Amino acid sequence: MAENEEHHDHPSRSTYLEIAGILAVMTTLEVLLYVFREQLGRQVTTPALIILTVGKFVLVGAWFMHLRFDNKILRRMFIAGIALAAAIFSVVAADWFLAATGPGF
């Protein structure tokens, strides 16, 4: 092993089951939000679904793709890519929203 590499113990099976349970609850919330989207309205369901989706993505990336245990530079590169994608998504979504309600960019 190289000097600067850190060794981490592998998470236990119960940790993975706990994360899987959290993901199942989050997925259930997403389905319920979709089912009751008419009663809740787009102003509630859309941001809630985006937040739940990002949360699930972070959990899967951190635990099941083992990003928590990767080298810090790799983790930062991954987060920078996600931040860039989120920024581009936000600009496109804003343009789409403005185009639907009035002049675009």
How many structural domains are present in the chain?
2
Q: Does residue 27 lie within any of the structural domains?
A: yes
Question: What is the torsional sign of CA 62, 64, 21, 12?
Answer: negative
Range of the domain at 63: 12-68
Q: What is the mean pLDDT of residues 75-85?
A: 87
Q: Give the residue among 42, 18, 101, 80 at the shortest CA–CA distance from 34.
A: 42
For residues 85, 87, 92 and 96, what is the CA-based torsion angle, rounded to 10 degrees?
Answer: 130
Count other C-beta atoms under 10 Å from residue 63's C-beta. 19
103 falls in which pLDDT band (50, 70, 90)?
A: low
User: Does residue 54 share a domain with residue 26?
Assistant: yes
Q: What is the mean pLDDT of residues 20-37?
A: 95
Query: What single DSSP character describes residue 66?
Result: -
The per-residue pLDDT for range 59-79, each reduced to its tens digit, is 888 777 777 777 888 888 888
> What is residue 97's predicted lDDT score, i.e. its pLDDT?
75
Q: What is the largest CA-CA distance in the chain?
A: 59
